[in-house]
Chain A
Amino acid sequence: MPEPTFLDSTELVLNMGPQHPATHGVLRVILKLDGERIRGTECVIGYLHRGVEKIGENRTYQMFAPYVDRMDYVSAVSNGLGYCLAVEKLLSLEVPERAQVVRVILTELNRIASHLVWLGTHALDIGAITPVFYTFREREAILDIYEKFCGARMTTHAFRIGGLQYELYEGFEEEVKRFCKMFVTKVDEYEELLTGNRIWIGRLTNVGVLTAEDCKAFGVTGPMLRASGVKWDLRKAQPYSGYEKYDFEIPTRQNGDTYDRYIVRVQEMRQAVRIIQQAVEVIPAGPIMGKAPKVIKPPVGEVYVSIEAPKGELGYFLVSDGSTQPYRVRVRPPSFVNLQAVDKMARGGLVADMVAIIGTIDIILGEVDR
């Protein structure tokens, strides 16, 4: 260590987190600063590591399903869908039409709920206090639907391998339709507060820029990739659960900065409403459970199945040895992979933008650490 002198220009190392409210959980970032400029970052993660993959190897296929909800705990329904699809693929199991449509509705509601948590907290980080009250109010309506459907609000375990556990409750369709109608006007409200707001634009434009090439190099997916101009969404590229039947757009933007990621996520909420509105009209009658065996023993083999989770590509790599427990469960978490790009985004920027950059990645540490 050189002797510190007056007007010294040596690097300053600043520790941020893990107990920092703007890191959305327990993320620790070590910032190397030159004055106000960030010269490098290092993420220290793992504070929420629970060994989810190891747990998976020690539980039966059904027993592991509730655990996946606890990874990205604000989009538990999406996690569950990905896992169920992976096991169904291993079993070559057909899921009844009715269950598929309901799955799409609940998963898209979940996308909205996840984006609402992101929007509220991200705005709060930047210094806009109001949106968080609005977004959590609307999220509450979604959680109420979940609660009536399966009894749980956050870690729902809404789906089962092969279909659904529960029939829809009386008045589900009306409640979802009512929500959609109400919610579109609420998105307008958020946009009124933020989209044209000069402070909002000033804080977000040209902050944390990622080009399309950067995104591909770092494996960044989801809204972050689309904000960089890549029109790619697994729901369109490799549709699952009947997404090909619904008419919706993939919102994209060109600059790949924090503001564009905001626009993309807001547009995605509108598109999610479109999907839900179409799906709720066509819920067919019929069984909700496919021919899933009581004891799930998939043949020896391995599959990788991924879905477009609210945060990006969520993949499950399952290896079966023919027994009732998976031989290996690998979760490819979007948050973990997207977080790796934080150094690229922050380097050369201002330390004051760090909070905006962490917020715009939309990380959930429960999923980063698993």
Chain B
Amino acid sequence: MAEEPKAAGKPASAPGKPAAVMAVVPWEGDLPRLLHEKFGDQILEFSTYLGQEFLVAKPEAAVPILEFLKSDAQFDYLVDVTAVDYLSRTERFDVVYVLYSFARNQRIRIKIRIPDGFKPRTATGVHPTANWLEREVYDMFGIEFADHPDMRRILLPEEWQGYPLRKETPITQQDQRWVKENLGIESAQ
């Protein structure tokens, strides 16, 4: 785990204005090389930020990469699946997989960028833990995962309309109809 950022003299925070883009450093080493050999241009970027390694892949490549990392590189623990909404971007969402390998004591992230309506394949076949994690992403962002065994909301009620963690949803917005029908009150605010 010696992944100190190599670019000297370029601290992430320049005085005055913060940089508008993430000040990433290329991620080099055996693992990116191995992945590059296997997946080629399916992987768009190998980077580290503050010593944390991540790669950006094409949406279709996410599950094959997870599979490969599990079988060939001992990344046997899917820590988290989550998403980030970049409203102004054409490929609106980042879906982020956090992976950990017990044997290597290494943590990496896999990111895919998808447009609204795109259905990434589920990772439940590789990591059963993805089941609830992907359901939460669906619940909060409305990103459906294809072939998921149980693609339903998990935290919000089944009939709830709207996806709270999307950026266009204001913090006070709620499903008025649901609240009225089920709680018998005008507003839960």
Contact = CB atoms under 8 A, between A and B. Distances in A.
A337 interface: yes
Interface stretch (A189-197, A215-223, A350-358): A215-223
Interface residues of A, number: 44
Interface string A94-112: 0000000000000000000
Chain B: number of interface residues, binned into ranges: 35 or more
A304 B21 contact: no
Interface of A is mostly: mixed
A55 interface: yes
A49 interface: yes
A218 B13 contact: no
A216 B18 CA distance: 39
Interface of B is mostly: loop
Contact of B21 (A58, A300, A328, A330): A300
A304 B79 CA distance: 11
Interface string A221-249: 00000000010100001100000000000
Contacts of B171: 51, 54-55, 57-58
A302 interface: yes
B42 interface: no
Contacts of B18: 297-300, 322
A232 B102 contact: yes
A331 to B, nearest CB: 9
B22 interface: yes
A315 B49 contact: no
Given A299-B13, A300-B20, A219 B79 contact: yes
17 contacts: A45-B154, A49-B156, A51-B171, A53-B165, A54-B165, A217-B129, A237-B105, A299-B19, A301-B50, A303-B49, A304-B52, A304-B79, A304-B107, A317-B96, A322-B19, A330-B96, A332-B82
Interface of A: 45-46, 49, 51, 53-55, 57-58, 89-92, 216-219, 230, 232, 237-238, 297-304, 306, 313, 315, 317, 319, 322, 327-328, 330, 332, 336-337, 340, 369-370
